[in-house]
Amino acid sequence: MKRFWIRKAFGIMCMVIVGIMVFSGIVMFLWNNLLPALFHFPLITFWQAFGLLILCKILFGGFRGGGPRRQWKDNMKQKWMNMTPEEKEKFKEDWGRRCRRPFEPFRGPGRPTREEEEPS
């Protein structure tokens, strides 16, 4: 049974290494075939593509599952689930005043909203 887990871990490590190499190769291929022709950038090596891939992961993806956006979304969902119906309604009203409704035309600053206009 122990051999199974050792082989499985070894197989996963191999797959991760191959995946990283493939993605680095794709980055290098796209960079070397697009950017020099479009913007006169220099060609890059495989290891530079690998570094670029890691840099993009750090800057845009982070290393936790889902990144900070996922944590914020989970926190907001938890807060929403713990609200009473009255608190939910107050929250909706507050955000309804802050944000205009979808497909409602922008009326500009200082102009009355639809609710404030007098009926004709």
3-state secondary structure 68-80: HHHHHHHHHHHHH
* Mean of per-residue pLDDT scores for the chain: 82
Q: What is the mean pLDDT of residues 35-58?
A: 93
Domain locations in the chain as residue ranges:
1-63, 65-98
Cα–Cα distance for residue pair 31/43, rounded to 1 Å: 7
Better pLDDT: 97 or 80? 80
pLDDT band of residue 107 (cuts 50, 70, 90) is: low
Both tokens of 30, joined, read 């796209």
pLDDT tens string 54-73: 998 888 876 665 556 677 88
Q: State the CB neighbour count (10 A cutoff) for residue 20.
A: 13
Q: Is the pLDDT of residue 99 over 90?
A: no
Enter the pTM of the model.
0.52
> Do residues 29 and 45 lie in contact, with contact meaning Cβ atoms separated by under 8 Å?
no
Both tokens of 35, joined, read 């950017």
